[in-house]
Chain A
Amino acid sequence: MPEGSRQRMRINFRKLYSFICFRPIYEPGHAQIGQKGYSRVVYCNDPDHLEAVKLNYRGNYVSTTKYSAANFIPKSLFEQFRRVANIYFLVVACVSFSPLAPYSSLSILAPLIVVIGATMAKEGVEDWRRRKQDIEANNRKVKVYGCNNTFCETNWKKVRVGDIVKVCKDEYFPADLVLLSSSHEGGVCYVETMNLDGETNLKLKHALDVTSHLHDEKFFEEFRAVIKCEDPNEKLYSFIGTLSYDGKEYPLSIQQLLLRGSKLKNTEYVFGCAIFTGHDTKVMQNATHPPSKRSKIEKKMDKIIYLLFSTLVLIAFVGSLFFGIETKKDFSDGKLRRWYLRPDDTTVFYDPKRPSLSAFFHFLTALMLYGYLIPISLYISIEIVKVLQSIFINQDQHMYDEETDKPARARTSNLNEELGQVDIILSDKTGTLTCNSMEFVKCSIAGTAYGRGMTEVERAVTRRRGDAVPESVDGVQGLEGDAVDSGKSVRGFNFRDERIMNGQWVKRCDSKIIQKFFQVLAICHTAIPEENEQSGEIMYEAESPDEAAFLIAAKEIGFKCKRVTQTSISLCELDTENGKMEDRDYERLQVLEFNTSRKRMSVIVRNKEKKLLLLSKGADSVMFGRLSKDGRSFESQTKDHIKKYAEAGLRIMVIAYRELDEEEYKSWEKEFSKAKTSVTAERDELAEKVADKIERNLTLLGATAVEDKLQKGVPECIDTLAQAGIGLWVLTGDKMETAINIGYACSLLREDMKQIVITLDSPDIAASENQGDREAKASLESIRKQIGEGMSQINSTKESDIMYGLIIDGKSLEFSLKKDIDKSFFELATKCNTVICCRSSPKQKALVTRLVKRETGNTTLAIGDGANDVGMLQEADIGVGISGVEGMQAVMASDFAIAQFRFLERLLLVHGHWCYRRIAMMICYFFYKNIAFGFTLFWFEAHASFSGQPAYNDWYMSFYNVFFTSLPVIALGVFDQDVSAPLCVKYPFLYLEGVENILFSWPRILGWMFNGFLTSIIIFSLTTKSMIKQAFRRDGQVVDYEVLGVTMYTCVVWAVNCQMAISINYFTWIHHFFIWGSIAFWYKFLVIYGYLPPEMSTTAYRAFVEECAPSVLYWLVTLLVVICTLLPYFSFRAFQTRFYPMYHDRIQRKQYEGLEAENSDELPRQVRKKRHLRKTLMQRNS
């Protein structure tokens, strides 16, 4: 840190600095102090005060875990049993201890315990990770005033309300602190709030005057004060409180509040008083759990579960009906029918005298028995699979970004399959499509255009025209050998022009103007230079990347801004007289800061020659009106250049200056400080008006053009996504022209597209607004008319080949989203291939997202990188954060984080497609296997007069879901690939399988269920028919209950596992191992279980070794049944792949036949057309 920062300055620079930053605010809220909602009282430096102890505020211990050691078991169990299926199994397990149960209670309890235990273990591990993070945060060190009247280090968790805390440079604040003083004179400090709002610029915080002298430890011995303030709340941008000190009350505002989670920068140390600790801090209050999202497939799965429950109830009811009738017949007129059941002496469960009651009890039994229709392990299997899928996403090398060293990250595993069904992508522009690293590429000084680089947009335009893209432009190559340029590329600076670089500008005839131009760039800013101690290089901490780009440009040309203090700026620049570099100080008198309504920024400085200068930069729309008559000498050339720059997609700033005379400045300064210190509500407006007075009669110097660089691979990625049938909406805060240009650059808009522009930027609308048309009727009408025109334009063209792009600005969007016209707006928007919403606010972004989701019913994916995208990310079905440079806020709110926009292609087309396919297949198969199994039980029941006797041994049944069939499904869910990753990208239309939800459509689900039903019939009927009465071995033994159970079960295990084998597309050794292993395990289990003592193995005792295995019939039946169960699906697929192939069938075939090179070009166009048709179809239906 340069010694300057420790300098005590004589001038109270609060007056000097911006008028926005500080104000002695008395907000209306201050009157409420002490009332409800504003009742917090903090005894500064006196946490042991009697009253303070009485108040008993929470400590600074923070816990973000879901569970604690004490409540883990009850709470996580509760979470588990919120699922309907689990409740069902719990009830079944409880009832299974009663005589109602068709099987032993242990056999139903065991799988439930395994399943619930596994899920709980997963929860526990996740929570343990969170706990470790908490422990780390709670045990960080901070200096707290206390022991022996000095500051000593303690853990964060021990900080109490009222403690005085010393925070040093680059440390995080342990709690919400009121800033008392800092190392800087006047008690200012800089904080970085990136963790809170994602903004990278530094924010200035300011202590109250009365406390700002407390910059040394010794003062705190005496210091006592009371702070009264609002109760803990989640508002990050407001704070109301008063400080009572020395009998006087001083208002506190957000300007004095240092929030936990932010970081001290550029300030040696600060002293603060903790007022909110632990969970009371604003950042913790804000930490609401993001809305939990569930994928569409999972929602649909619930419906299927309900369907299965209904089936279960239905078949149980049918069974009970028959059971009741049969039981009733057993005993009539004193005659026993089935005497061997002793119906004359029975329990209530089989009582022929009370058949309806017995039937009811039987109904309960049947509900338990047919419970195998509901796959108990479905949820846990899906969860395991999803976690593994997330690992694959995290581990994918193709989604790793070298530059930022960030791999992709699936922050939630719930939505993997949703990635395969995305219909519309809503994208932010800055930082998402573009890098948000501004590069100074061109400038226009004194009517001459400098800068020879070619922008991305220009390249795109050239490409569209079919010209060859010149690798380099004339002159640039000649420079390559030069000293400055040799190989070293400077971040943020892509300016190439030999006329002014390397000091050549001095030789230009208008060198004076060039000098002034760059001086403005170097002086008119609010950035802070920071010198790297090792290399001596200077970096700039700027509020906006544009500003940093200007400073770097100035530095590269030879105007290095070396040091900024509150009152002065020192440049290292060329002395034109002696040609040497020298340091020059400029006294900074006023900063008139940038804001969105002013669209300009100015500084007033006094230079070495004691001349007063006003240096100004701003948007072209406001600056040209402020030029003096003589200052417009090259206005028209500059405007020409600006137009060209805008077309090239560049951001433009107009640079101007003015010389002030002392008199004028003095009178103005008085007025300005009066305006700033006024205590009225209109203070800001007043100050703005005064500032406006001096920012006039400027002299134009030129204009700068900064390129917002497109991220790598964006156009290609967008093109691929379009081929996959995914619509892209860009929601940006940029100007319409910039947005359209970027649209062209990233191939969102194409020359052959027709544009529909909806805007309120017309003179008559502006006029009506000025007349105070508060209702904005004219605007509404105008929008309605424009939408109508757009619709008729689309409808009039019969050709469906023409594509449309809709461009709408923020103001129009606001009207379009109003209740009565949002329908027609969406009708128009969904018919367009591309939609660009410019000038939209974060709230509008979220609103658009919600409306798109609601109106179209499609799956939406929002992608963004900044804090302003958080609403959008949370609103969309899937939020993808760009873990680039703009802080972590978007990433924290996102479901997936990737480093570059172009990774979206792989995330959706490869991982999304695979995950969708896997989960869809897996669920279908799950239902198949459980229906196939469950219905064999039912068929057996039907032959056991529905008495509730299961066809199999208890443990065969309870192991069914857990051991014999679960692992292959998991392997399917984790590994299956219809086509390889490169092909997924090569044939984006494959993605339509997900968008159209082909693999999880009702016909397909019901088809699988029917297949299961069919399998059960085949198994039961073939087995019983072929081996029931006659001897099944040479030694004359006949089939009994035990043998039939083993045979049927063997068939089930074989059938479902082989069904899996023929339905997967990707056979690795893992699949082989699991599928054949499961079957082998069944036999092993049978042998081992059969060798257990008969009291344990009961009906399975030696059933395989002694009875089944030596029988040829047993093996022949198995073969017959298994082949028969596979035939329907196999024939269907054989027929389908040939005559109605699905998308992946086609690709597989092509791949197989090696014809991939041919006719792959026609496909994309067809898909596009199809997409269009699909949309119109959807419209008609809705």
Chain B
Amino acid sequence: MSSRGAASSSGGPQLGTSESSTRISKKPKYSRFTQQELPACKPILTPGWVIATFIAVGIIFIPIGLASLFASQRVVEIVHRYDEECVPPIFSGNQLAYIQSSITNKTCTKNFTVPKRMKGPVYVYYQLDNFYQNHRRYVKSRSDKQLRSKAGELDTSTCKPEATTGNNSPIVPCGLIAWSLFNDTYGFSMKNKVLNVSKKNIAWKSDQEHKFGSDVYPKNFQSGGLIGGAKLNASIPLSEQEDLIVWMRTAALPTFRKLYGKIETDLEANDEITVVIQNNYNTYSFGGRKRLVLSTTSWIGGKNDFLGIAYLTVGGFCMFLAIGFILLYVIKPRPLGDPAFLSWNRNPSGIMN
């Protein structure tokens, strides 16, 4: 029919009328979807909304900030750097030689006072600086298969150069992470009484249960030419070696703490605590500091004022903005429809963005 065109006209009905009545109309079907008329809320940044939003953020944030700051303040934390102090003065020029030597006495005794009452459990951490546990070579240098079960013992391809011993028997656990296991130890005593440090339950349950096999025992570990870190008791399965499990959870950033153990008893204020540190771990070659940390926790975790301060700052800033906007509207109310405020009557750069 369309071919008839305008040129073919007649007074009466056209040839195809009978067809066209039966033909299905091509008219698009109505639906709110295709006509783009779905019900919608159309948020508009009206002054009321803007101010209300800012105030709401402020009102929510300031209490959260105060609460977290308070919680953080309640946490008692003792941080003690010992890497410098524990090197005898004669080695101060050559700390590396001291730490690498097998004959030097690594024992080092320190005293400190508890500033405030520390309610148990008190967590004992070691903190390392400038240690790149997140280095790609380091992170990849482990064999999860091997750690998980005895069957994967030979799976050491990712562990080079700490994969096998000279005679090609696999190292268990292989890889750089395990090899560089932290080996400083701390012995705590208070008033000449030994303070018991529990090493149980310092690792994640899932790690112990699923990632480290109970049938996997250390083998050929630290037996090569170059000794990295701690040695492992070959008679205890990996799933029980919680120090190793903690260490194997690589840290995200070069400054990190790792859980050493828990002191289950409360520490009273002004208690004198003596720590006997076996300063074995070499951080001197890369200038890493070592710290011993004792800390309680609260609902927010350990001591860190940053979160509370950040919340307070953002909340305060929003309040400030809210007040600012209110003042702006009061001082400089823009009459609607005033053409002077149309962007095209302004400098074109005003339209940008």
Contacts and interface: CB of A to CB of B under 8 A. Distances in A.
A1032 B301 CA distance: 4
Interface stretch (B2-10, B102-110, B215-223, B271-279): B2-10
B6 A436 contact: yes
B353 A350 contact: no
Contacts of B316: none
B351 A1140 contact: yes
A396 B7 contact: no
Contact of B176 (A340, A549, A1024): A340
A1124 B135 contact: no
A120 interface: no
Interface stretch (A250-258, A510-518, A954-962, A1066-1074): A1066-1074
Interface stretch (A665-673, A731-739, A851-859, A1037-1045): A1037-1045
A776 interface: no
Contacts of B25: 405
Nearest to B325: A1134
B195 interface: no
B351 A1142 contact: yes
A1041 B321 contact: no
Contacts of B303: 1030
A1116 B137 contact: no
A219 interface: no
A1041 B211 CA distance: 16
Given A1026-B304, A1101-B211, A1148-B42, A201 B7 contact: yes
B68 to A, nearest CB: 7
A539 B8 contact: yes
B353 A345 contact: no
Interface in B328-353: 328-329, 334, 336-337, 339, 341-346, 350-353
Given A1124-B314, A1140-B343, A1166-B344, A1028 B351 contact: no
Interface string B62-98: 0010001000000001000000000000000000100
B45 A1030 contact: no
Nearest to B100: A339
B28 A200 contact: no
Contacts of A1068: 38-40
A192 to B, nearest CB: 6
B259 A1036 contact: yes
B136 A532 contact: no
A552 B11 contact: yes
Interface string A1089-1126: 00001110010011000110001110011011001100
A977 B123 contact: no
Interface string B252-273: 1111111100100000000000
B7 A542 contact: yes
A556 B162 contact: no
Interface string A1147-1175: 01110110100110010001100100000
Interface string A477-498: 0000000000010111100000
A1030 B353 contact: no
A543 interface: yes
B119 to A, nearest CB: 12
Interface in A89-136: 102
Contacts of B14: 532, 539
B306 interface: yes
Contacts of A1025: 306, 310
Nearest to B181: A340
B176 A1150 contact: no
Interface in A390-423: 391-392, 394-397, 400, 402, 404-407
Contacts of B314: 1120, 1123-1124, 1127
A1039 B252 contact: yes
B35 A397 contact: yes
B301 A1113 contact: yes
Given A1038-B257, A1040-B250, A1142-B343, A1116 B132 contact: no
Interface in B284-302: 285-286, 295, 297-302
Contacts of A1041: 133-134, 139, 249-252
Contacts of A1116: 64, 68, 300, 307, 311
B34 A392 contact: yes
Q: Identify the 6 closest CB pairs spanning chains A and B, nearest first.
A: A1030-B302, A537-B12, A1031-B302, A1044-B252, A340-B180, A1036-B123
Given A944-B253, A1068-B40, A1095-B144, 8 more contacts: A263-B3, A342-B162, A437-B9, A532-B12, A539-B4, A945-B135, A1026-B307, A1041-B134
28 contacts: A192-B3, A200-B6, A335-B285, A488-B11, A491-B9, A535-B13, A540-B7, A540-B8, A887-B5, A1004-B352, A1025-B306, A1026-B307, A1029-B302, A1029-B304, A1031-B295, A1031-B301, A1035-B297, A1036-B262, A1038-B125, A1038-B251, A1038-B256, A1038-B258, A1062-B43, A1070-B38, A1094-B211, A1106-B206, A1134-B325, A1153-B336
Interface of B: 2-15, 18, 20, 23, 25-30, 34-36, 38-47, 50, 53, 57, 61, 64, 68, 77, 96, 121, 123, 125, 127, 131-139, 144-145, 148, 160-162, 176, 179-180, 202, 204-206, 210-211, 226, 228-229, 249-259, 262, 282, 285-286, 295, 297-304, 306-307, 310-311, 314, 317-318, 321, 325, 328-329, 334, 336-337, 339, 341-346, 350-353
